[in-house]
Amino acid sequence: MKTAPDLLRAVGSLFYPPTCEGCGTSVGTDEYLCEECRSRAPRIVAPFCTKCCEPFSGAITGPFACSNCADQTLYFEAAVAGYRARGIVRRLIHEFKYRNRFYLRHVIGDWIGAVLEDPRMNPHGFDLIVPVPLHPAKQRERGFNQAAVLAQTLSKRTLLPVGKALERVRYTKTQTAFDRAERMQNLRHAFRLRPRMDVQGLRVLLVDDVLTTGSTLSECARVLKKAGASSVYAATAARA
């Protein structure tokens, strides 16, 4: 689907060569990042927490639980993130969501696509991709749900169907200023299964743009499992 900013960029490239979204040097017609900016995006590599993908610096072999996971119950089986939300990754995700630069979904789509390299993300292990929903008021304000956009990207690459199984029924305050207990309280009853949706026995791949502590993904996983989902894994483009 070509949208207005896409078309503007395409038309603009007839007159000006396309430039890298990271540094402004010229790039090929269908490229959004130059080689160097692409390589500057910090990929999450082992060792990392097997549950929430928190990278661990130092030598460690075998599974371990990080401190983020040790003191909270996370309802998803595991969350896999492609990149660290640092530098260019953090900046472009922010511009995608808050600066109306919808075409950056191509860049961020590649970042979430990287999760498919993780053996736990084998498409045969899933029945349905479910995006983390936005509250309707927030979605109207932003114009799109970034999680739903990324769910479509993963669907194209895995041929798994997308089902908007969840809805956000409470407009929650932004989580960042809260400690862990407050965050869980803030999320209580924020999500529910949409009417007429059935996830009974399904293996769900839950999708969002960024994992911060995992509490939002965990609350969504809790609701899906309560509704009968047999497993819930989560995928995000980035991890704080």
Residues that bind Zn ion (CB under 5 A): 20, 22-23, 34, 37, 49, 51-52, 54, 66, 68-69
Contacts of 161 (CB under 8 A, 6+ apart): 128, 129, 155
Q: Which is nearer to Zn ion, 53 or 129 (CB)?
A: 53
Q: Which is nearer to Zn ion, 56 or 171 (CB)?
A: 56
Nearest approach, Cβ of residue 21 and Zn ion (Å): 7
> Could you give phi then psi for residue 96, rounded to 5 degrees?
-60, -45
Q: Which is nearer to Zn ion, 35 or 182 (CB)?
A: 35
| φ/ψ bin of 24: left (φ > 0), alpha (ψ from -120 to 50), beta (otherwise) | left
Paired sense of beta strands 166-168 and 191-193, if any: antiparallel
10 Å CB burial of residue 193 (0-12, 13-18, 19+) is: middle
CB-side neighbour CA atoms (13 Å) of 118: 28
Question: H or E segment at 207?
Answer: strand 203-211
Q: Which is nearer to Zn ion, 65 or 193 (CB)?
A: 65
Nearest approach, Cβ of residue 91 and Zn ion (Å): 12
Q: Which is nearer to Zn ion, 41 or 151 (CB)?
A: 41
Check: CB of residue 205 under 8 Å from CB of residue 130: yes
Nearest approach, Cβ of residue 170 and Zn ion (Å): 26
